[in-house]
Chain A
Amino acid sequence: MKLPHRFLCVITDDHRCPVELARLALDGGARMFQLRRKSASGRELFEWAVRIQELCRQHEALFIVNDRVDIAMAMHADGVHLGQEDLPAAAARAMLGPDALIGVSADGVNEARRALEDGADYIGLGHIFPTYSKDKPDPPLGTSVIGEVKKVVGLPVVAIGGIGPDNVEEVMNAGASGIAVISAVSGAQNPTAAARNLVRRIWQ
């Protein structure tokens, strides 16, 4: 599945209704949406995912499920995003087939190279800047690693971690294909406006 060019991916937080957030983010121009809620039941995830996939189709955006390959397969999502603690990408690829989009989180060249070998379509690289969305003991990577991973591994890089309007330009100039955000959109008073602002800056 083909990734969009210079895009915003919005990821759910633990507070806002995922379906409502998807609607608002897509209205603001997000081209990819990721459902991630570790505390939700399988039933909840499935019901949300079905509705979000429909919204994404209407907006010609991609929908991916975090971690839960089973949910993605049960409701025919466009793909999955896998962290280092999730199923190996190779196992997911074997089940999902060649057409599904598979993203893998990496913190540098080594994990990114492994993701490539496992059949990933893109690298979720982070965290680039300090972030409070997740409990991250490691220091931020900075933007220079984006070009490094892109050059060595050759897969599109989606930058994640502490990205907001003020540093989008730096991330895109470093060679990112897109950015993924949680709080910058879900935590905004007006998520649609926040998404629109990020998309505008992605293209600047």
Chain B
Amino acid sequence: MKAQIQHLPRLFIVSSGREHIDAWGLAMQQATAISKSGPVMFQLREKGLEAAQLYNIACRLRPLLDTSGSLLLVNERADVALASGARGVHLPESSCPASSIRKAFPGLLAGQSVHRIGAAVDAWKSGVDYLLFGPVFATPSKERFGPPQGLEELEKVCRSVSIPVFAVGGITPEKSFACIEKGAWGIAAMTPFLDAGSLPATIDKFRCYLPS
């Protein structure tokens, strides 16, 4: 799997978390828009959905994302990821241990969210393929993870691990550049990508500030 990791897309889009309210809505629209622009990492993070619904939506998203070479990652549920043919699983910090998930699901790409440098190093040592680190900048949606970690902390994390790190939390196209300068592989966000209509243009804006 290591060879493919060199080619992970730089842009990491997190789903709205509102599919249980607006069923079959935004995620499908996003995936359709991505299929015309891609490739990106797309994390299906819908804690309000039961496993059957999550599975159904993942099965529908996957072919759309495949057409652009985008990677579908299911939040937390490696079982749903494997069953739906998704590329991987994204583990929250309080998940089932990554090392156990790795062993039980060897074919899946596995990444993890971390909010401190210590956790980042632990996650890297447990064998995950990539990290999401943040919040780097202030953002309402990440307030529960404490104050922003800042670019210096991002740089320390990137120097402490040898897997791709995606910066998350308050990222704009302009701020993406600073994150890359500090050693981030790419950036992750939810809010800028919520308007499916302007999604291709938004993706292009971010791409301007990201290495190809």
Q: A interface vs B, CB < 8 Å? A: 41-46, 67-71, 73-75, 84-88, 91-92, 94-95
A-B contact pairs, 25 of them (CB 8 A): A41-B92, A41-B95, A42-B76, A42-B91, A42-B92, A42-B95, A42-B96, A43-B94, A43-B97, A45-B96, A46-B97, A68-B79, A69-B79, A70-B79, A70-B96, A73-B78, A73-B104, A74-B104, A87-B55, A87-B79, A87-B80, A87-B83, A88-B83, A91-B83, A95-B83
Chain A residues with CB under 8 A of B89: 70
In the complex, the chain A residue whose C-beta lies closest to that of B54 is A87
B82 within 8 A of A: yes
Interface of A is mostly: helix
Chain B residues with CB under 8 A of A68: 77, 79
The 4 closest A-B pairs by CB, nearest first: A69-B79, A85-B50, A41-B94, A42-B96
Q: Are A88 and B55 in contact (CB under 8 A)?
A: yes
Q: Give Cα distance in the complex from A94 to B105, angstroms.
A: 13
Tell me how far the C-beta of A35 lies from the nearest C-beta in chain B, rounded to whole angstroms: 13
B141 within 8 A of A: no
Q: Are B100 and A74 in contact (CB under 8 A)?
A: yes
Q: Are B79 and A95 in contact (CB under 8 A)?
A: yes
Chain A residues with CB under 8 A of B96: 42-43, 45-46, 70-71, 74
Across the interface, A67 reaches (CB within 8 A) one of B51, B76, B82, B94, namely B51
Interface residues of B, count at CB 8 A: 24
Q: Are B104 and A86 in contact (CB under 8 A)?
A: no
Chain A residues with CB under 8 A of B202: none
Chain B residues with CB under 8 A of A91: 55, 79, 83
Q: Give Cα distance in the complex from A94 to B79, angstroms.
A: 11
Q: Are A85 and B53 in contact (CB under 8 A)?
A: yes
B101 within 8 A of A: yes
B1 within 8 A of A: no
B52 within 8 A of A: yes
In the complex, the chain B residue whose C-beta lies closest to that of A94 is B83
Chain A residues with CB under 8 A of B79: 68-70, 73, 87, 91-92, 95
Beyond A69-B79, A92-B79, whether A86 also contacts B52 by CB under 8 A is yes
Q: Give Cα distance in the complex from A68 to B80, angstroms.
A: 9
In the complex, the chain B residue whose C-beta lies closest to that of A76 is B104
Tell me how far the C-beta of B56 lies from the nearest C-beta in chain A, rounded to whole angstroms: 9
Chain B residues with CB under 8 A of A42: 76, 91-92, 94-96
